[in-house]
Structure 1
Amino acid sequence: MLAVLPEYRIFAPETAFELRQYVVGLVTSTEKCVIWLDNLEQYLGSDGITPRVISYLTQAKVILLATLRAEQFNMLSQANLLNRGVDDHKNAHLHDVGAAAKVLNQAEVTIVERRWSRLEIERATKVSDARISDALAHHDTYGIAEYLAAGPKLIQEWQLAWASGVSPRGAAIVAAAVDITRAGLTGAIPFRLLEQTHQYYLDLAGGALLRPEAMPEAVEWAVKPRFGITSMLLPDNAENSYRAFDYIVDSVARDPAREEVPDFVWESILYFATREEIDLFSVGNAAYHQKKYHIAELAWEKLANEGDVEAAYDLGRLLKRDRRFSEAEKYWSFAARGGNVDAATDLGIMLEDQTRYSDAESWLSVAASRNDTHAAYHLASVLDKLGRRQDAERWYRFSASEGDNTAAASGLGRLLEDSGQLEEAERWLRQAAPSQPAAAVNLGVLLARAGQFEEAEKFWRSAAERSGLDTNGRTAASNLGLLLARTGRFSEGEGWLRKALEAGADDVAFHLAYYLEEDGRIDEACEFLWHGARSGDERAAYNLSLRLYKDDRPEEAEQFLRQSAEAGSFQAAYVLGGILVEREEFEAAESYLEYAADAEVDQAACEMGTLVGKLGRLDEAEAWYRRSIAQGHNHSACLMGSLLAYQNRLSEAEVSYRIAIRSGHGHAAKLLSNLLARQNRWKEAANLYRVAEKSKYPASKHRNKSSSHKNRKKRKRRGR
């Protein structure tokens, strides 16, 4: 600072409050100013340095220089990342939401290495100062800067002080100050708190057997300056308060054999906070990072119940981490109403996970409207699930464009693909695919549908290799395996299909069985059909039933046929309905055949007509036959003709028979010939009889399709 800014005036405030008092004056001053803050953590928070204050100072070209210990830097940078995913790093804060992390993010960091460089040491050897000469002898162990600060000797003196007759009470006071600082109380420590807690350490070391000195002597020993530089306890500006020397605190924090801060100390701090001004937020943060979650909860709960919005936010995250969702919702909703955007976002995400989409939409809308791109992404996801695709598209676009959110780009691409906007969908999916396996999977689907199989293969392979066994990985492996199998590379495709199946993609078993059967590996194919059927795949259950019928295992076959039909297979319902008709279980048969007929399964409407006709419901039978004819099955006209003739509706019956005859139905010609003969229309009857005799569908070979289960099995097997 002296070398680079010699003409600047220096302002070195002692407290955050003093700094804030002079910010306006510094910003408006015509003089060049530099602010010096030793131990930056003491100046952070709503009463001190915030991102807004940084902005004011930057605009006014006021330079801010500060020091910060490595331990504090790491803690503040990662503060309050409670229970967050890897990509959810934007909410770190201390005191105010985001304040500490955002301040540090704007800093130009210069790391002062613990050990000096070779050139620095060479220059130091040319200095005649005896203290530097002494420090040079120890630089390999401690580093010159630390040694010059008397750190190691203070540590040694503190350790020796525990001996009887030296200063065990003073050592206990220092130990208490160190652990209180480790517990997050980085500011002044009231002497009464040291007085209350030090006895714990003294008793632990031996108590009265150490013949401890009186309290005044102990304090005098702890605050006595060493080497004309520093002391173990540093008197603070606050009345009757002290701070622990940083080197001692850091030395304990770095020691891998260090003990945890005792619960007694945490509890004393919380108790003391009811009577003195204690930074409970910082205490809660330290407790969390030291896995003293119950202490963190107590500290933040006290602040939150007193109206502290930021504490309510962090308490909510702690409660969510413990799956105490209703309590988390209580504190997050309070924090969100108090203006905390992150609370609104996190609450919305939690409610989305609980499928409470309407409530989630309300909170996410609050955060998204304040330009929170992460909230915008989740709002789009919620709206997508609610079927409000236009609104979802708008928020996906906002999040993807403004926040460079690849997850939002992936969601937008999928949405556009579903709505047929393939060109734009491809652009967004390509943008997201390198970091979002879901986007790579969807892009592969889009490309495969366009016939770009080589590129689809590339994206699916990438997603399968990156995602391991998660949902995207299973889908990618399954799609890749099917693509390879369909393009003649079944040996490689089989490997990916097996990986997908092992990862839980049970629907792959059906496809594996199909390709194994095509490859002539029938026994293996059957094994996968069994796997698929047992996992609930209706296609596998249907094909397995056909295989079991072929192997003359009808009871097992019908069991899986029913499973397939109950799982939604129209084809299985049709086949099962025919079997039940043959067994004259008409009521059950009707429900299955009607289900298949509603899905327009070939012949199902016709067989429904025949079934309800047998049950005497002639009007329904006629309706089903007409429905079958409308679907293009003109042979049903023959059956309807017989139904109409039975009702003596001869002219209508004649029309139906002629429709069937035009389709080449010889039996219809025979039946109409008989009908015309009864009406003495002999010439026409004779002509039709000759048509029937010449037809490739003579009367002797006509029968209702539902009467032959074996033929049905063969037909459906071929149609698979």
Structure 2
Amino acid sequence: MDEESVERIAARAAMHHAREASTGARRPGAPAPPARPAAVRNTVSGGSVHGPVIQADTISTVTIQAPAFPSAVPDPETWPVAENLDPVTFGVRPAERVPGRRAAPPYILRARDGDLDTALEQAAQDGGLVLVIGEPFAGKTRTALAGMADQLRGFRVFAPARGTDLRGLPALLNGRRGRYAVWLDDLDGYLDDGEGRLEPRLLAQLAALKAVVVGTMREDAYDACRAAPHGRVLDLARIVELAREWSPSEREQVFLAHDGDPRLADAARSSGPVGVAAYLTLSPLLWEEWWRARRADRHPRGHALVRAALDLARCGLTGPLPMDLLLKVHEGYADVTGLERESAEDALAWAVARRHGLLPLLVRVTGDTWRAAPILVEAAARHDELPAVPGPVWGCALETARTDPAYDYGEVAAAARAAFRRAADDGDTTALHSLGLLAESLGQGEEAEQWFRRAAAAGEARSAGRIGRLLAERGEDRAAEPFLETAAEAGDAEAATLLGKLLQARAERCFKAGARHGSPEAAQLLGDLRLARGDVDNALYSYLDAAWAQYEPVARSMGLIHLLWREHKVAEVWLRRAADSGDACAADFLDPLSVDTLERAVEFFQDDAERRGFDASNLGVLLEEHGRPGEARPWYLKGYEQGDAYGAFRLAELHKKDGDDAEAGTWYRKAAAMGHPGAKRAFGEAPEP
């Protein structure tokens, strides 16, 4: 007998001892095999949990006849004994695989074990049928096998395959001195109308030989068979009903067992009305269905949606998660392809469907918030094939934890740091960058810089951009430039802009030096830089230096600066000079120098004014400047509605001209809120509305 059987028998004995002590009843020991009479006249007897089955005082003559067909039943002496039956081999669905653990966790005592033991004790004495019924996944098979191991110790057990002709069993067992049982899991499969099924006469023959038949049935199958002619044998059964939902005392037995099996502990905590047995059985089934759904021809988006909730829970976000967050995260799994084949609606419907009518993969909490089913979260800790949480998912988790008071950001950050370190040790350079960002978010500037430098050295362009910015902020422009250039070449727009500004500043210093030492080209280029940033006066001085040196290319620049001052005649001279020197750009400015009519100007802006706020506001300015403020007002409003703060500013100015200071203040406030500098200056002068 194996170690589990010994522990199980000891536990059940302790439970029954406590029951006997409280009731005064004495439980007899396992019955000794009775002496077999020489005659075939036997006493058929029994009792029932719900009522009599075959009355104990009924005496009948049962004639055992050899069958007229050859028997395919193996020699009874080769049948295994009840206490050595492997649960999984004899019908128990395996729980989730855990290294070092058996496929079926240790048996936990159920509240109906006492009734089952009584029925099996009586059947061991008198023969007959004991039947455990209940809802699917109630644990019927495991409970019945555990009861057999306890109460039918020493019985040899035959578990026939479906369709086996059972009529030869009585003749095969007749005259043998051993004790025998027949195990019929899902009994309804042995009650059909075919020959050799279990029916009342066959059961009576087996009972006359003190053989025990033990079976299980789902409640719906039991009800269906009771209404059918072939279900009359159920009238003779001792029935034990088993509930799927476990009581608090049954759950407590899990923790009293001190076995330490994590599958049992998780099931006892999380199964709820589903019941521990169902939870253990469904865990591997749900996990397998979800994991295989990642294929492009199955439910890839549904898989990714559930995975997003599962990974966020692994990050520490075990509370309700908004669907927007799940949708954002689920798009980022590089190893899941074919998302476009499944809509988000279909994916959600697949994820929330209850498997076997009991458990979904994704659970709605309240409103549009969700969480991964606990059965998946608990199983994830035991599955090595599940990839580590990707860095971007950790980023979303950290961002959520930082803004949601329901979570402890420090705890999530600590878990993220450990995950990033493991990934970095495995050669993931993006994890080095993530460690830098994490340290930065915690105010650990020196540590952040160290991580960014390591990541940049490993080729991480984002980290190069970070280092470049840090150095630029400290005034170390030359040291920042190579880092910014690396980031800019990788597509970092901010790094490219900052690098351009640094190079522009360096270029200006170089042009100043060149102009100071007599280079007219440097003087012109210095003027262009100054003009670009609005320093018109100093730009002119630089252009004049180049002109006095008779540097011909400066002619176009001189023409442009006079255009800015509306000195069209002077500008035309300079631009004509440049055009005659072959400057095509200058020639374009000459034809024409400005827009001739209001109508042409309106056409110029109106082309894009309907969809671009700048042009809408500019069109309003054009109309207002030509004495048409009423027509300008709707264009200013359109510009504001399209995000142009200048439109709001111009509306404020119109209201101020009209003497409506309250409305002007409202629009100044709106423009200032959008960042318009003129509105910010004017807002203090405008009366409060």
Task: Give the structure with the higher percent helix.
Answer: 1
Q: TM-score when scaled to structure 1?
A: 0.28
Instruction: Give 1 or 2 for the bigger CA radius of gyration.
Output: 2
Which structure ranks higher in relative contact order (CA pairs < 8 Å, sequence separation ≥ 6)?
A: 2
Q: TM-score when scaled to structure 2?
A: 0.29
